[in-house]
A and B are shown apart, each in its own frame.
Chain A
Amino acid sequence: MAEVIIPIGPHHPALKEPVNFKVIADGEKIVRLELDLSYTHRGIEKAAEKRDFIRVLPLLERVCGICSHSHSSAFAKGIEETMQLEIPPRAQYIRTIIAELERMHSHLLWLGVAAHEIGFNTLFMWTWRDREAVQDTLEEMSGNRVHYGMNEVGGVRRDLTLEQVNAALLRLPHLEDRIKKYVDMVNNQKTLLVRFRGVGKLSKEEALKYGAVGPTARASGVDYDVRSDDPYFVYADIPWEVVTDTSGDVYGRTCVRIGELQESIKIVRYCLENLPEGPVRVTAPKAAPPGEILSRYEAPRGELVHFIRTNGTDKVERVDIRTPTLANWTSVAMCLVNQNLADIPVIVAAIDPCLSCTSRITILNIKDRSAGVITMDELRRRSCTRCYGQEQE
């Protein structure tokens, strides 16, 4: 067959959210890929400029459903740093517990979705059944299965009662057994191995060059985890390890995520058993002093960055969110070339795409009716010229 353009998206059963790949394929081999994002732009960054610090947190939580605690934590953490607020240790522990529970539910969800993409629906059903234990824990602690609403500027909104702590601790051993079974399954199930191994290989240099973050990069041997490189909450004080792998293919990413699941269970258990007593919040001042802050957080998908500029009022002047999925898309586009057509959903699912989080700007030129994107050099030229007043090469 000659080269044909196969439109994967915006509507496609492999994608949970809209993204447009124009795959140019020769038979079953992919020759080239054109990527078009930005179908779920909702104007959240602009809407956040009109809300004060109490009302902006529910808005930022709803950037994404799976990593909602990440966004509100990153923002709250940044604002607290600007205000130079010290939040009490019990609040730090509670934030860590919810963050790791969120990581667990996200990785279990991912395992199911990856199995579904290769047609292995049994593993999909089983992992989502086990995910219900995590969701039940989160519902008991925070009141909702997604969008937990636990964060406030100054601490945590709710306290954990003794019954909730004990109920959560009781659920953990069963989860550990199930995850051991999944490790066994991933290592021994023939169809999983044959579809995941050697697919979508990303070497360490490529991962660094294309700016991959999160489990996608850690599977290629890049030892970068914000929780250990720039610690926040209680990660500097409790025993845990970064999980890396050297294979760089989808199988490596699966192993990294399952390893992170096991680490998260250990962190949650440690935090639940060693929860310090004390208040769960301090009263925060109404307005934040002017400044710029870059708040980094390890979301389940990778490094999440919030850039916040405050100007002395009770609202932010600008919040800019760079999500991990946006950083990983280039690596997908690069490692899909020369792969099989049947591997597209596997490789796309391997970066755990959360398109609610991703957005890129399209530049519309009204005069000559063109639309396009800005390249990195153009962006650098425009911003550096403005900031530093001199032409940069």
Chain B
Amino acid sequence: MSVLGEMFSNLLSKPFTILYPKEKVPVPDAFRGKVAISDEKCIGCSKCSLVCAAQCITMVEGQRVVEFKGKKLERKKKPKVKLFSCIRCGLCERHCPVPGAIYLKNELSDTGTDRETVIT
């Protein structure tokens, strides 16, 4: 009998579905979405590339001057992430010595058709 009661009360109430493109799906802040790299903070230590579980981070040339612990350093390399190989495990963010250099934003990554899309 509880089934019948619930059925009829559901008939008269709003469905649970979020009608996706029209309504927004609530995404929490801690969601592991697209990878983002900040050139000003990254010191090019290659740790992210070593711990990446999917081996999708390679270090490429990127000469720049970075401020790290109060000193200005000349750094040579920066990471390049293959967007569609990344499994969003977050190990790069966890093991990066500078908070905010490489991190996972809470946006979903876009769809695409090119397998070699990279984020630098």
Taking a contact as CB atoms closer than 8 A, the residue among A140, A147, A184 that contacts B28 in the complex is A140
Interface presence of A9 (CB below 8 A): no
Distance between B37 CB and nearest chain A CB, rounded to angstroms: 18
Q: Mask for A36-54, Cβ within 8 A of B = 1, else 0?
A: 0000000000000001001
Q: Mask for B1-19, Cβ within 8 A of A = 1, else 0?
A: 1110011000000001000
Chain A residues with CB under 8 A of B7? 122
Check A143/B3 contact, CB under 8 A, given A54-B91, A55-B51, A58-B53.
no
Interface presence of B87 (CB below 8 A): yes
Check A144/B53 contact, CB under 8 A, given A54-B95, A58-B91, A122-B3.
no
Residues of chain B from 58 to 92 with CB closer than 8 A to chain A in the complex? 87-91
Chain B residues with CB under 8 A of A158? 30
User: For residue B30, which residue of chain A has the nearest CB?
Assistant: A143
Chain A residues with CB under 8 A of B54? 58
Taking a contact as CB atoms closer than 8 A, the residue among B28, B32, B51 that contacts A54 in the complex is B51
Distance between B58 CB and nearest chain A CB, rounded to angstroms: 16
Interface presence of A11 (CB below 8 A): no
B31:A181 contact, CB within 8 angstroms: no
Number of interface residues of B (CB under 8 A): 22
B31:A139 contact, CB within 8 angstroms: yes
Chain A residues with CB under 8 A of B94? 152, 157
B51:A143 contact, CB within 8 angstroms: no
A140:B2 contact, CB within 8 angstroms: no
Taking a contact as CB atoms closer than 8 A, the residue among B2, B51, B88, B89 that contacts A181 in the complex is B2
Distance between A254 CB and nearest chain B CB, rounded to angstroms: 16
A371 to B31 Cα, complex, angstroms: 46
In addition to A136-B28, A142-B30, A149-B89, 11 A-B residue pairs with Cβ atoms within 8 Å of each other are: A54-B95, A58-B54, A58-B89, A122-B7, A126-B6, A140-B28, A141-B30, A143-B30, A143-B31, A147-B89, A188-B1
Listed by A's residue number, 20 A-B pairs whose Cβ atoms lie within 8 Å are A54-B51, A54-B91, A54-B95, A55-B53, A58-B53, A58-B54, A58-B87, A58-B89, A62-B87, A139-B30, A139-B31, A143-B30, A143-B104, A149-B32, A149-B90, A149-B91, A157-B90, A164-B30, A181-B6, A188-B1
